[in-house]
Structure 1
């Protein structure tokens, strides 16, 4: 199974190795935090859609993103209905907590690149067999940064997004260990965390420019 033509995760994460996950906020608050993330330089936002209000938040955030040329995906995709809701809302990609071949197939058929969750070598092998080269390592904080270094040996072609328990204080540890992207959640809603996130983005931007 080959990924669809069009936007890839390589393109989505080209400018900043950080994704925002906005779970459980009101429609207005989701758009507000997404706007703050975009202002910081984070291009990609994920809105998990486990409730009707979350689907509404996804729609509103997609609308706001369109005006700014930013990207919004739908998270916690675990059913065919979620794939349909994501596509109908205008999401650019999907994210799942685990890897389900049928959900992968449905998402790709809908034209949505998918970032499935993995935590084992067997799950990474399955992702490769499905034609994927990007996966979400979840829960990253419990797996530990050394997990990424270890998995790069047998799977050099896989790109990892570290999700779960990541904040501005430990993000660089995971990036240095081999994660290509880190996902930040609740810290984006805390104004006191924003300077540290801005510093992270600046330092990673400088490192990319010098590489």
Structure 2
């Protein structure tokens, strides 16, 4: 059985998570620092190249110094889990639900956050012992999807990812989403005040 209840503590203080995709080392560190300064404590760096893994290592080290949590995203293989652990990640995030990747992540001491987009995937993930799930792509699933899932799966806790920004994040939080993951919005100065307001919820 897997367990990712660690996210209860990780996401206890803020309803937002930051994603830095393919930004390189310096830009990733800069955006991560901006997120931390804003009050977003949890950041994710997808690892799809050697540069991504180096960025994860650097940001993870900076995060540890500030007491912030940094995870590896787009983890779709057991090899990715090993790379994430070696780079200092504290958790893994996947676009889909793969029991093998989930178990490898748990074995490595990294709480997994697998992606789901259907009742079947939610049911299988919860059968595995997981309570926190990434809903992806959230903007296409829509806010009503989360209300529909609440009936059969009242204990599921969702992180909405994909197409999220300051303009729609509040709607998803109102729909019962526990955390919204934002990416490019963090580099848009016009969105920062609205994101800061969401952090007060």
Helix, strand or coil at the partner of 1:50:
coil
Q: For residue 3 of structure 2, what is the aligned residue in structure 1?
A: 3
Counterparts of 1:135-154 in structure 2 under 5 Å?
A: 135-154=133-152
Helix, strand or coil at the partner of 2:134:
strand
Give the whole-Å Cα distance in 2 for the aligned partners of 1:147 and 1:70. 31
Helix, strand or coil at the partner of 2:97:
coil
- The number of residue pairs the alignment matches comes to 201
* Structure 2 stretches lacking a partner, 5+ long: none
Q: Does 1:89 align with 2:76?
A: no
Helix, strand or coil at the partner of 1:192:
coil
Shift, 1:191, TM fit:
2.2
Q: For residue 177 of structure 2, what is the aligned residue in structure 1?
A: 179
In structure 2, which of residues 186, 192, 195 is the aligned counterpart of residue 194 of structure 1? 192
Helix, strand or coil at the partner of 1:20:
strand
Give the whole-Å Cα distance in 1 for the aligned partners of 2:53 and 2:188. 23
Give the whole-Å Cα distance in 1 for the aligned partners of 2:167 and 2:2. 37
In structure 2, which of residues 4, 25, 29 is the aligned counterpart of residue 31 of structure 1? 29
Q: For residue 78 of structure 2, what is the aligned residue in structure 1?
A: 80
Give the whole-Å Cα distance in 2 for the aligned partners of 1:121 and 1:198. 32
RMSD (Å), alpha carbons: 1.0
* Structure 1 stretches lacking a partner, 5+ long: 205-211
Give the whole-Å Cα distance in 2 for the aligned partners of 1:181 and 1:162. 6
